[in-house]
Amino acid sequence: MDTIKKPIKTEVQSDGRIRKWKFIEETGRYLRIILLEDGETVHNTFFDRNFKEEGK
C-alpha cells in the first residue's frame, strides 16, 4: 500500500505503534494507517478529518 511505503508524515506513538498519513486524491482526504510495532501489521486505518499537512 502506497500509504505505508510513501507517507507524507510518520509518527511513533508512546506504545510503539506507528502512524502514517497520505493524501488520497480520489477522495480529497487524508488516510491514516496505524501499524503495530513490527512496522508491517495494520492495526487500524481510517480517513483523518483533523489532519493538517504542515506547510499548507
Per residue in 7-52, pLDDT (tens digit) is: 999 999 999 999 999 999 999 999 999 999 999 999 999 999 999 9
Q: Are 26 and 3 in contact (CB under 8 A)?
A: no
Torsion, Cα 2 44 25 52, to 10 degrees, reads -110
C-alpha span between 4 and 55 (Å, rounded): 21
pTM: 0.89
Smallest Cα–Cα separation from 3: which of 25, 20, 26, 27?
A: 20
Give residue 55's pLDDT band: very low, low, confident or very high (50, 70, 90): confident
| Per-residue pLDDT at 56 exceeds 70 | no
